[in-house]
Amino acid sequence: MIDLRSDTVTRPTQPMWDAMYDAPVGDDVYGEDPGINALEANISKLFGKEAGVFVPSGTMGNQLGVKVHTEPADEVIIDEKAHIYNSEGAAAGLISGIQLRPLKSSRGVMDPDAVRAAIREQNDWDPRTRLVAVENTSNFGGGACYPLETLRDIFDITREHNLAMHLDGARIWNAAVATGTRLHEYGSVCDTISVCFSKGLGAPVGSMLLGSKGEMKKARRFRKLLGGGMRQAGMLAAAAAYAVEHHMEGLRQDHQRAKTFAQAIADSSFFNIRHEDVETNIVLFKVTGAPVSRTLQWFSERGIAMIPFGEQTIRATFHLEVNDEDLNSVLDAVSTYKL
């Protein structure tokens, strides 16, 4: 099966398994896992942040990010396509007791003027705006990247209004490779950033929240409260460290394959796509003339898995387990598609 459902489906490569096998371990709840300590130090340095907290998932990284900045009954400005808003089970309401204020966006990229306009008056009846959360790349936006300038403009607005800014950087690595932006530049335009090792980089498990020492002290406490203290998890840190060191460059190829696929989809009269929108490893396209479920079934019978992604839309994601031979099989299937 050529699995294009998500970049989370990747399994460790043999050298990654070797690195995991050799990892020294200790109790991370006591702060004694050498691999996790080194990973937190190295990744925070890459992003120019003071400290980091290793967490089991991107969802926990985001939720701790919301938690450290807010009090119950605060409001968080977010784009309507954001993972925090759509795919984290309303956790921000449950865990932080906050209200999300979703804004319309262009492929998941918010307009700074819209953010500014959404900041509430300070009085006794408006919710208190406290945090702006952005997502880069935007998953539901089809892997779209924020221009660094736009992030900086939004960050400046948060400074003017004494708000915090959290960046969901589950695929920040893809954004960095696609736009040539340095990781520390992304770190300079937010207070906290959550990054995932388990998406395109190919680690089996693991994400990290990065920010100031004070914010990370608070995040560690809530990580434990939520059951995210992982004890001897150094083998996961070893996989993450291996992924960052060896798999970033491969993202470039994933992006190229995604673009080639998008071009083939654009050439078919059965699908709709603005293929020039494809910037990274995610391709969203619309199906015409057949229900999405039948189209997915047709591809599945030819050994290709993709997932439905909203009305008449399919998502295909390129990652390190999809090579050129796989891509050619997928292109052949697209060129013969007919329902």
Ligand X SMILES: Cc1ncc(COP(=O)(O)O)c(C=O)c1O
Summarize as ranges the residues that interact with ligand X (CB under 6 A).
Answer: 57-59, 62, 83, 135, 139, 168, 170, 196, 198, 207
The nearer residue to ligand X, 44 or 136, going by C-beta atoms, is: 136
Q: In a 3-state reduction of DSSP, which class is residue 111?
A: coil
Find, among 125, 65, 120, the residue nearest to 95 by Cα.
65
Q: How far is the CB of 135 from ligand X (least distance, A)?
A: 5
Question: What single DSSP character describes residue 144?
Answer: B
The nearer residue to ligand X, 33 or 168, going by C-beta atoms, is: 168
The nearer residue to ligand X, 290 or 305, going by C-beta atoms, is: 305
The nearer residue to ligand X, 20 or 196, going by C-beta atoms, is: 196
Residue number of the CB atom closest to ligand X: 58
Position 118: which residue type?
Answer: A
Q: What's the first-to-final CA gap in the chain, in angstroms?
A: 21
Q: How far is the CB of 302 from ligand X (least distance, A)?
A: 26
The nearer residue to ligand X, 87 or 336, going by C-beta atoms, is: 87
Q: How far is the CB of 47 from ligand X (least distance, A)?
A: 16
Q: How far is the CB of 146 from ligand X (least distance, A)?
A: 12
* Phi, psi dihedral angles at 298 (to 5 degrees): -60, -45
> Residue 89: left (phi > 0), alpha (psi -120 to 50), or beta?
left
* Phi, psi dihedral angles at 5 (to 5 degrees): -65, -40
The nearer residue to ligand X, 177 or 264, going by C-beta atoms, is: 177
Question: Tokens for 57?
Answer: 């998932």
Task: Give dist(CA 55, CA 61) in Å, integer.
Answer: 6
Using the Cα atoms of residue 169, residue 175, residue 176 and residue 177 in order, give the sign of their dihedral: positive
Task: Give dist(CA 199, CA 59) in Å, integer.
Answer: 12
Largest pairwise CA distance in the chain: 62
Q: How far is the CB of 6 from ligand X (least distance, A)?
A: 7
Question: Which residue is listed with tokens 């865990």?
Answer: 95
Q: How far is the CB of 137 from ligand X (least distance, A)?
A: 7
The nearer residue to ligand X, 85 or 285, going by C-beta atoms, is: 85
The nearer residue to ligand X, 196 or 235, going by C-beta atoms, is: 196
Q: Nearest 10 degrees: CA dihedral of 115, 153, 214, 43?
A: 120
Question: Tokens for 29?
Answer: 């709840």
Q: How far is the CB of 228 from ligand X (least distance, A)?
A: 11
Question: What single DSSP character describes residue 164?
Answer: E
Asked if 83 and 168 touch (Cβ cutoff 8 Å), the reply is yes
Q: How far is the CB of 126 from ligand X (least distance, A)?
A: 28
Q: How far is the CB of 121 from ligand X (least distance, A)?
A: 31
Task: Give dist(CA 284, CA 57) in Å, integer.
Answer: 24
CB atoms within 10 A of CB 294: 11
The nearer residue to ligand X, 175 or 296, going by C-beta atoms, is: 175
